[in-house]
Chains A and B, each alone.
Chain A
Amino acid sequence: MPPAETILAASGISKHFGGLAALTDVSISVRRGEIFGLIGPNGAGKTTLFNVLTGLYSADAGVLAFDGRPITGSKPHRVAQHGIARTFQNIRLFGGMTALENVMVGRHVRTLTGVLGAVLRTRSAAAEERAITQRALELLDYCGLAARTGNLARDLPYGDQRRLEIARALATEPKLLALDEPAAGMNATETTTLRKLLERILGDGVTLLLIEHDMKLVMGLSHRVAVLDYGEKIAEGEPAVVQRDPKVIAAYLGGTVA
């Protein structure tokens, strides 16, 4: 087996909101081609770390590198350009657009047509538009949403909305897909479907970074996990090892470490 290559390295990330330390000196490194789980009790700073990674927040301290390039302080659209796509804990679709259009928006970052091309409808612009539609339809099908193409995103059932977010994120051709609680609120059947989808995405060569509260899902899927508690990383490693870590058990069940 070749040595695992780091695709995302965050080192010494700190983020404060006023007097609240949301993240303190957190370092993680995600390897190419793995599913990396990020777990921790509510309010541990998982989503904050996601927001720092994807450029929505700028960290007070720390360095980020993705795919060999520094991305510290990059704007969200630059981060997406570099190849990190994300979903949101509280679904953020474009509600007034159809499922198809939502995914088509995801193609924006990998396409070029400008105002002139669009207005004059040049040959290349028209070809690109067809390719965008084609790819978006493929991705909807890939995520099991082929029947929902023309529905407005806000009219979709909850589970479909979660998967549409994934389809939209995949449209940006990410190297790393960051999923913020993709299984939240899903029933057992939906979770199984989601699990298969995530495995398929991994099989297609996309690295996955996963925040999840469904322990069965995250421990079953992840190659490695990191545990955050009160903004600090308290454990990192293979799921089986981390599960037995007394600090992790204490963080989840309360109490102090003996």
Chain B
Amino acid sequence: MSITQSRWRWLLWVIVALLLLAAPFLIEATLGRAWVRIADVALLFIMLALGLNIVVGFAGLLDLGYIAFFAVGAYCYALLASPQLAIHWPFLLLLPLCALVAAVFGILLGAPTLRLRGDYLAIVTLGFGEIIRVLLNNLNRPVNITNGPQGITLIDPLQIGGFSLAQTHSFAGLTFTALHSYYFVFLTCAVLSIIISRRLEDSRIGRAWVAIREDELAAASMGINTRNMKLLAFAMGATFGGVAGGLFASFQGFISPESFHLIDSIMVLCMVVLGGMGNVAGVVLGAVLLTALPEALRYIGPLQQRWFGEVFIDPSDLRMLLFGLALVLMMLFRPSGIWPARRRRAESMTEKQHAAG
């Protein structure tokens, strides 16, 4: 019984893996190249949402400034791999550095907020997010570091040896444009993020985070150093954001403070909440849906043009309208998300224990 089950599961994973590998080509053939780009962005958002899920979903710390860590990672990469400061470090060195710098910022944000909870924490983190953005906007005087609102251009693409991801390559009869190549890099990082999230969740650390979320005082009384664990959650979450930011900078080739607004923090939070706070699979689903749906709604404009000869509703208005409606409906009918954190696999774990013993 269990053998056949595991064989089917194995087969299922192989099919999923093959589909994911073929996805950029399938998407390009069916929906067009624009959607390959959207898939790339969706993978970045999966990383971001999983990072925020550690802070909000696991540890229960409402963070409204999460996009700041994305910004820190992006600027860290951009400054050290562009003509802006005339530094061009290799990305294999820069990506871990982005993670590290973001983690330090995570601790810097976390330290003063340790005593805050709920609304108050949300307000302070929101402020932190804005501080970072305003700082990036103004660090062009007296010494020009970030180039202010103009942003940083000509950021180096990912490059391994002589293989630049920005160029088009041909391999086994397939054409890999930059969009395709980045897809595979982002996919690797997103899959790693999923594995790290899942493993953390099922560990001593993850349980300590959830315990703090459920009852901080009881957690402390059970011997959990709540201060260190909360700082660790901020740092880990920020790490995901930092890596995603670095990848984003190299992918876009251009960044400016405009990419890191409060609304972006809210979007990532929506992915976590709508998908299913605390559940890794739900969060991934939330990230994919909330990246793809607004893009799909863009087609509403041309469709109106074709059917009625004129555009009645501006697609961008409609997007926000539908988005709001979706949020309200979700909160009414599925308040714990599309794919809520399931009751854990405790029962199957006991079965395993009995079978082993």
Contact = CB atoms under 8 A, between A and B. Distances in A.
Interface of A: 54, 56, 75-77, 79-81, 85-86, 88, 92-101, 104-111, 113-115, 117-119, 121, 125, 128-129, 132-134, 137, 149-150, 152, 168-169, 171-172
| Most central of B200, B203, B236 by chain A CB within 10 Å | B203
A176 to B, nearest CB: 13
Contacts of B210: 94, 96-97, 101
A213 to B, nearest CB: 22
Contact of B207 (A88, A105, A152): A105
Contacts of B221: 54, 56, 76-77, 79-80, 85-86, 88
A174 to B, nearest CB: 10
A98 B208 contact: no
B208 A137 contact: no
Interface in B115-168: none
B274 to A, nearest CB: 19
A129 B352 CA distance: 14
B199 interface: yes
| Most central of A79, A92, A99 by chain B CB within 10 Å | A92
B223 A172 contact: yes
| Most central of B199, B208, B217, B223 by chain A CB within 10 Å | B223
Nearest to B347: A150
Nearest to B278: A96
Interface string B66-87: 0000000000000000000000
Contacts of A114: 205
A129 B344 contact: no
A92 B226 contact: no
A134 to B, nearest CB: 7
A133 B357 CA distance: 13
Contacts of A150: 343-344, 346-347, 350
Contact of A168 (B220, B222, B232): B222
A101 B220 contact: no
Given A77-B220, A94-B211, 7 more contacts: A92-B218, A93-B214, A97-B211, A113-B205, A118-B200, A129-B202, A133-B349
Contacts of B236: 115
Nearest to A107: B204
Interface class of chain B by DSSP: helix
Given A94-B211, A118-B203, A56 B217 contact: yes
B225 A77 contact: yes
Contact of B353 (A56, A105, A134, A172): A134
B224 A77 contact: yes
B178 interface: no
Ranked 8 nearest A-B pairs via Cβ: A109-B223, A80-B223, A118-B203, A94-B214, A150-B347, A76-B220, A92-B218, A150-B346
B219 interface: yes
A125 B206 CA distance: 13
Interface in B162-203: 195-196, 199-200, 202-203
Contacts of A54: 221
Contacts of A99: 346
A77 B223 contact: yes
| Most central of B205, B346, B349, B350 by chain A CB within 10 Å | B346
A109 B346 contact: no
B317 interface: no
Contacts of B232: 115
A126 to B, nearest CB: 10
A172 B208 CA distance: 13
B218 A88 contact: yes
Nearest to A80: B223
Nearest to B343: A152
A120 to B, nearest CB: 8
Contact of A98 (B206, B224, B226, B346): B346
A115 B236 CA distance: 9
A94 to B, nearest CB: 4
B205 A115 contact: yes
27 contacts: A54-B221, A56-B217, A76-B217, A77-B221, A77-B226, A79-B221, A85-B221, A88-B218, A92-B215, A93-B218, A97-B207, A97-B211, A100-B346, A100-B350, A101-B344, A105-B208, A105-B219, A106-B222, A108-B224, A109-B223, A111-B204, A115-B205, A117-B203, A118-B206, A129-B204, A150-B347, A172-B222
Nearest to A102: B211
Contacts of B222: 80, 85, 105-106, 108-109, 168-169, 171-172
Contacts of A92: 215, 217-218
A74 to B, nearest CB: 11
Contacts of A100: 346, 349-350
A129 B196 CA distance: 16
Given A96-B214, A114-B205, A149 B224 contact: no
